[in-house]
Amino acid sequence: MRTRTLLSLATAVTALSLTAAVPATAASTAAGAVLTTGGTGGTPVVVGTTLNASLASGTAATFHSSATGSTGVSCTGSQFTATVTGNPTAPGTATESVTSHTFDSSTCTANVSGVLGVNGISLGNLPYSATVTSSGAVTVTPPSGSTIRATVTLRTLLGNVSCVYQASGLSGTASNANNGITFTDQQFTKVSGSSLCFANGYFTATYAPVSAGGAPVFVN
């Protein structure tokens, strides 16, 4: 799911999370696992399987200064990798370990006054724990005692500036319509950085499809 800048914070990163598999829009009537391939009620995803996802085609991961604004950073390249750690019978809650959530800085732009570009974005305190329920609710949490921490390095007329943000966790929604996960206006708070770094960042991104060995993942 490319190198997110002020954003990733994502997800992050991100990520962000990005993170879990993809959710069902209606409850499955067939007995089976929460995460499957081949369709709803299909083949259970085996514990230990690696899941991958990039941003949905034609979309961007954004990190804006407000939930309703458009000022901030946008990246068209971001991806995440997760390992399935639990996949019980549906209805239930599957668990995953998010081992990587990156943003491709070469695809990132910023429309912040005084900022010329984005040099990089990195997420700290990985791996994150992720859960996805049969109803499609996705949560991403950092290790106990830590935060989802994102460092965005901006290029300015006066040199490079690092903006550090953190969030206690992320909430998203999985959908079988695109086999993806969407994060909307997830708030990060600035920990350190110059006045060019806004006080809060709101992360939005859709990662789709989430796949296991190239096969789209469904949530049941």
Q: Is the pLDDT confidence value at 53 over 90?
A: yes
Q: What is the phi/psi pair of residue 106, to 5°? A: -70, -15
Q: Which two tokens stand for residue 148?
A: 């989802």
Q: Supply the pTM of this predicted model.
A: 0.86
pLDDT band at 31 (very low <50, low <70, confident <90, very high): low
DSSP string, the chain: ----STTT---BBTB---------SS---S--BSEEESSTT-EEPPTT-EEEEEBPTT--EEEESSSS---EEEES-EEEEEEEEE--BSSSEEEEEEEEEEE-GGGEEE--TTEEEEEEEEEESPPEEEEEETT-EEEEEPSTT--EEEEEEEEETTEEEEEEEEES-EEEEEETTTTEEEEEEEEEEEEE--TTS-SEEEEEEEE---EETTEEEEE-
Q: Rounded CA gap, 173 and 193, in Å?
A: 31
Model pLDDT for residues 130-165, shown as the tens digit of each residue: 999 999 999 999 999 999 999 999 999 989 999 999
Neighbours of 29 (CB within 10 A): 10
User: pLDDT averaged over the chain?
Assistant: 89
Q: What pLDDT digit, counting tens, does each position of 164-187 carry? A: 999 999 999 999 999 999 999 999
Contact 79, 20 (CB under 8 A): no
Is the per-residue pLDDT at 8 higher than 60?
no
Mean pLDDT check: name the lowest of 14-18, 61-65, 198-202.
14-18
Q: How far apart are CA 86 and CA 181, in angstroms?
A: 18
pLDDT band for position 18 (cuts 50, 70, 90):
very low
Q: Which two tokens stand for residue 180?
A: 């993806």
Q: pLDDT at position 75, please?
A: 98
- Quick one: tokens of 189? 């708070």
Percentage above 90 pLDDT, the chain:
82
Report pLDDT for 121: 87
Ranges 25-34, 119-128, 177-186: which has the least confidence:
25-34
Tens-place pLDDT, residues 87-96: 999 999 999 9
Q: Over 90: is that where the pLDDT of 26 sits?
A: no
